[in-house]
Amino acid sequence: MFSTVAECGSFRAAAERLGLSASVVSHHVSKLEDRFDVALLYRSTRKLTLTDAGAKVLEHAKHITDAGFEAVEALQTDQLRPQGKLRIATPAILEHGNFMNDVAGFLEKYPEVELDLNFSDQHVDIISEGYDLALRAGKLEDSSLMARRLASAEDVLCASPAYLAKVGRIETPGDLNKFKLIGVPSKSDVLSFRHRNDMKRKQQVKVQTSIRVNTGDAALSLAMRGVGIARVPRLLIETLPYGTLNDVLPDWALPDFEVYAVWPRNVGKRSLTRLFVDHIMSEIRSGKISK
């Protein structure tokens, strides 16, 4: 308001530009002078003159205004040509799947974006830890976050051909505890199966894991090395060379689970976060990522 008065040369002209009364404008300038105990304007019935202090304040005000315009222009530029840093938390197991192809495609499309990917199976509080986006599997907890369903997926109990050749065929879910099972804390120990050819046939098994690791990534790696049986998303097995891992119970299915993207509620529609989520959805719809 003070800078407008200085530019217009009178309270009345400034008031007209601001859509306020001259008395309101004069009052605000007087309060500013009282606050700093210094005269910013010398007043007469015909003219306003800047004091030395007033000239200094006006110069700083112009810098602030210019900086504000520059900030707005920078934001508009970011929206027209996406750039900046995007921090994403995602399950470690996705390091092996088509998700990485999607990440590469996003970076190729938007080369000025800086991407910070954290692969971990530990639950991440994206607000307190400063993430823009997280990918999560399974049932979501109630929260203030926005969420978008990306896909459904199916876990498979799998093992290497070498391990199965050594231990023999597994006939039913009830036989699982006779073998070495690789467990991950984020996965339940109680497994519910249904027969693929007879929906009425169901079995529930509480498995006893003899090998425990803290990421699905590690479980997958051990299974590939013939150590035991791991629970892994089918879409990841399908990205491996054919025959690397086999479904140990092909006639039995575990329940599907959902994969979501979650992000803070106040994220704008043109943000890098939404741009990334939309990119993933586009890849899924085009069939480049398995649903």
Q: Name the nearest CA neighbour of 104 among 276, 285, 278, 291.
A: 276
Question: What band does 111 get if pLDDT is binned at 50, 70 and 90?
Answer: very high
User: Dihedral sign, CA of 233, 238, 240, 246?
Assistant: positive
In sequence order, what are the residues at sequence separation of 6 or more whose Cβ sits closer than 8 angstroms to the Cβ of residue 94?
Answer: 100, 119, 135
Mean pLDDT computed over 47-76:
61
Mean pLDDT computed over 151-165:
93
**Confidence (pLDDT) at 68:** 46
d(CA 212, CA 235): 22
Mean pLDDT computed over 167-192:
89
Indicate whether 50 pLDDT > 90: no
d(CA 85, CA 237): 32
pLDDT tens-digit map of 121-142: 888 888 888 899 999 988 887 6
Gyration radius of the chain's alpha carbons? 31
113 φ, ψ (degrees, to nearest 5): -85, 135
- 36 or 212, higher pLDDT: 212
| Size of the chain in residues | 291
pTM greater than 0.85 (yes/no): no
Mean pLDDT computed over 97-115:
90
Question: SS3 for 126?
Answer: coil
Q: Where are the alpha helices (DSSP H) in the chain?
A: 2-8, 11-18, 22-36, 52-80, 99-109, 161-167, 216-224, 234-237, 272-285
Residues of the chain above pLDDT 70, percent: 84
Structural domains of the chain, ranges and CATH numbers in brackets? 2-80 (1.10.10.10), 84-153+257-285 (3.40.190.10), 154-255 (3.40.190.290)
Mean pLDDT computed over 71-75:
50
Indicate whether 158 pLDDT > 80: yes
Specify the range with the lowest mean pLDDT, choosing from 99-103, 186-190, 199-203.
186-190
Mean pLDDT computed over 27-33:
80
Could you tell me if residue 37 is left (phi over 0), alpha (psi between -120 and 50 degrees) or otherwise beta? left
- Per the DSSP assignment, residues forming a β-bridge with 202 are 194
The pairing of strands 181-183 and 133-137 is unpaired
Indicate whether 261 pLDDT > 80: yes
- 15 or 192, higher pLDDT: 192
**What type of residue is 208?**
Q
Indicate whether 156 pLDDT > 50: yes
d(CA 275, CA 184): 32
Q: Name the nearest CA neighbour of 20 among 41, 5, 31.
A: 5
Which helix (H) or strand (E) segment is 229 a member of? strand 229-233
